[in-house]
Structure 1
Amino acid sequence: MPIETAPCAPDDPMLRRIIALHQAHGAEDYPDESQHNMDGDTLAAEGVRMFVAKANGQPFAMGGWKPFGASLAEMKSVHVLAEARGLGVGMKIVAALIDDAREAGCTRMYLETGALEAHAAARNLYKRAGFTRCAPFGDYRDDPNSAFMCRDL
């Protein structure tokens, strides 16, 4: 199955289902104070540059990044639909985000993801993409439910 990645507006109707599932996935396992995902309107307001991964015209994954500081980026809202997990879709979207942030002049990328077992696959994906654990960054505070990671671009 050929997978295409492309920029997509955060409030694009194509992303609504994936955003809703992403938010529901976080709400299943984490208390409100440990959830840092955003709806489409907030992603747009925060200036997050979103990407979608599609196969046969159907969206299967999303992810975004936003700049912070002079040359830093934060990866946001990566989610792969259950039926596409294990097919390389996650790595495609992460690679697109890394490449886009690098092309925009960012030199380092950070992310926050869940620290519980429910997000083990996500942490493994980020590790395979070159991310390593780091201290909380930006406005984040130490939280036992959060794992913080970063990598040079």
Structure 2
Amino acid sequence: MAGAGGGTIRIGRDTPEREDVLQLLGEHLADMYATSPPESVHALDPAALAGPGIRFWTARQDSLLLGCAALKHLAPGDAEIKSMRTANAARGRGVASALLRHLLAEARRSGCERLFLETGSQEFFAPARRLYARHGFTDCPPFAGYEADPNSVFMSLHLGAG
């Protein structure tokens, strides 16, 4: 994907334990706690994102970190999107859309039939909800141990073949 400034944006497997990724995830967690009550924050910390059953990617332009995202295995055929985050300086450049398209392709490639996600219900999360809706996600009931929460929106997407 071509990015601003002429460099190519590349998405690849990575570790949440790299220094720049730790900083981005720290900003992500800080925003989650600033906009939601603690009991409604479901973002994973870097150690959990490096754990079993989770695949983690970053988007970079040259060596500059632009964003990150992860897929968490839930059950055969089901996965959850976790920690979708675009760096503040990269907002509005299509990074989140590129990461989401990558996650959809990876999920399909791995045989996933349904993708789920939880995001906030507050205005802060409206751009994320619009992004997911543009890609076909629809509201769904809580899944995988989540409980109904006025601060959460649950969404899912049934993946078609190819």
TM interval, shorter chain, is over 0.9
8 Å CA contact 1:53–1:62 kept in 2: the answer is yes
CA distance in 2, matches of 1:61, 1:52: 6
Aligned match for 1:97, one of 96, 103, 114: 103
Deviation at 1:98, TM superposition (A): 1.2
Q: What is the one-letter code of the residue matched to 1:53? A: A
Is 1:79–2:85 an aligned residue pair? yes
Structure 1 segment 57-136 matched on structure 2, within 5 A = 57-136=63-142
Rg bigger for which structure?
2
Tell me how far 1:46 sits from its aligned partner: 4.8
CA distance in 2, matches of 1:45, 1:60: 22
Partner of residue 31 from structure 2, selected from 25, 44, 49: 25
Q: Deviations over 1:41-69 (max 9, x none)?
A: 11122532111011132011000011111
Match of 2:43 among 37, 41, 45: 37
Identity %: 36
- Counterparts of 1:12 and 1:81 in 2: how far apart (Å)? 15
SS at match of 1:27: helix
Match of 1:140 in 2: 146
Give the aligned CA root-mean-square deviation in angstroms: 1.1
Distance 2:53 2:65 in 1: 21
Normalised TM-score (structure 1): 0.95
Tell me, yes or no, if the aligned pair for 1:10 and 1:49 is still in contact at 8 Å.
Answer: no
In the alignment, the residues of structure 1 paired with residue 84 and residue 140 of structure 2 have an alpha-carbon distance, to the nearest angstrom, of 19
Give the structure-2-normalised TM-score.
0.90
Cα deviation code 1:60-89 (max 9, x no counterpart)? 100001111111010001011111111100
1:52 aligns with 2:58: yes
